[in-house]
Amino acid sequence: GDSVTQMEGPVTLSEEAFLTINCTYTATGYPSLFWYVQYPGEGLQLLLKATKADDKGSNKGFEATYRKETTSFHLEKGSVQVSDSAVYFCALTDGSGNTGKLIFGQGTTLQVKP
């Protein structure tokens, strides 16, 4: 079945450092890919998405490119801030169905220190 694998956390960075969180997926059909962010004590918020190969999603300085050849959707940010500390989830929707179900990776905790 479809699956998503994220890099293990926690990831600890200093403010203004470059961020990469790796995400790879296995899927049939043509899935859409997402990054969600969860701040402490809150629900998940959509950070960015890409719906077809070579699409780049971007939001709030974060970017990710849908790479079909490497089945990857790595999250990047050029300069992180303390306020970016959160848990980040990579996810995909079933590309061959019509239910919109999300399949999540296990999440990666990011800690940014001043």
- Residue numbers of the site for another protein (CB under 8 A)? 4, 30, 32, 36, 42-46, 49, 51, 89, 93, 95, 98-107
The distance of closest approach from Cβ of residue 78 to another protein in the complex, given in angstroms and rounded to an integer, is: 26
The distance of closest approach from Cβ of residue 79 to another protein in the complex, given in angstroms and rounded to an integer, is: 27
Complex with another protein: residue 71 or 109, whichever CB lies closer: 109
99, burial (CB in 10 Å: exposed 0-12, middle 13-18, buried 19+): exposed
Complex with another protein: residue 101 or 113, whichever CB lies closer: 101
Complex with another protein: residue 108 or 112, whichever CB lies closer: 108
Task: Tell me the C-alpha distance between 11 and 70, whole Å.
Answer: 23
The distance of closest approach from Cβ of residue 16 to another protein in the complex, given in angstroms and rounded to an integer, is: 29
The distance of closest approach from Cβ of residue 92 to another protein in the complex, given in angstroms and rounded to an integer, is: 11
Contacts of 43 (CB under 8 A, 6+ apart): none
Residue ranges with strand state E in the chain = 3-6, 11-14, 19-21, 23-26, 32-38, 44-50, 56-59, 62-65, 75-77, 86-93, 102-104, 108-113
Complex with another protein: residue 17 or 38, whichever CB lies closer: 38
